[in-house]
Structure 1
Amino acid sequence: MASRAEEEIAVQVGRALANARLDAGRTQEEVAEILEIDKQTISRIETGRSWPSPARLVALASLYGVEVGNLFPAPSTGSRQVASDIIELLERLSPKDRVWVRRWLKQLCGRLAVEPAGAARRRKIPR
């Protein structure tokens, strides 16, 4: 079962593919015919209900004249998204490991919050 984050990415990639197809002046029918697949497959990909195989993703990007990497959303640095990502990672751990990670993360964030911006870059790295 796909996580909520994976489902959201599938929808975003699907939208990006649909927009790229429209920008390229193609219909779903044309694309399906060129790739020798049915129109419903294109529709499922564009709505995020199905992931294209890597080979198909490359073929679609090439057909639309876009880079594959441009079809994926940029990682969010917003606090809520970062927290959501951390929660997803923590859910995979045992309760004991979650406590350890929480303590470690709290100490790390406390240390980083005290350092002025750029201080880490000015520090000499021991050799």
Structure 2
Amino acid sequence: MPEAEMKNLAGLVGRAIAKRRVACELTQEQVAEHLKIGVEAVSRIERGVVLPTVIRLGEFAQIFQCGVADLVTETSSRPTDQARHIERLLSGLGHEDRAMILEIVERLATRLG
């Protein structure tokens, strides 16, 4: 994989990890403690300076109580992965809120398509 693509992937994965951490109301210090690494290491991963290994992704997923695939598919540009991500986002909403979001997405898709 070209270096530019690796940097982009690291950034996307890092942002997904940071987003999950914040959603779980955890600090970088708490995550670092769980992983038995330094806070700077967590920061470097979240900023996309370092791409975590598959094993490390598994550890993050365990901390955030999600699947490794959840951390990776959030970063995917494939429509099916994006659809699964949207499905997860919608699953926590009520019927009216989901309908409103669906209407917004339909309008955007029509306008942009």
TM-score when scaled to structure 2? 0.62
Count the aligned residue pairs.
Answer: 77
Is 2:76 the partner of 1:74? yes
Q: Sequence identity of aligned pairs in percent?
A: 35
Task: Find the aligned partners of 2:78 and 2:53 in 1 and give their Cα distance.
Answer: 25
Is 2:18 the partner of 1:18? yes
What are structure 2's unaligned runs of at least 5 residues? Answer: 80-113
More helix by share: 2
Contact 1:20 1:66 in 2 (8 A): no
What are structure 1's unaligned runs of at least 5 residues? Answer: 78-127
Residue 49 of structure 1 is matched in structure 2 by 49
Pairwise CA distance, 1:75: 3.1
Contact 1:14 1:48 in 2 (8 A): yes
Residue 58 of structure 2 is matched in structure 1 by 58
**Secondary structure, aligned partner of 2:19:** helix
**Secondary structure, aligned partner of 1:33:** helix
Task: Find the aligned partners of 1:59 and 1:69 in 2 and give their Cα distance.
Answer: 12
Task: Find the aligned partners of 2:59 and 2:51 in 1 and give their Cα distance.
Answer: 13
Residue 4 of structure 2 is matched in structure 1 by 4
Rg larger in 1 or in 2?
A: 1
Contact 1:24 1:65 in 2 (8 A): no
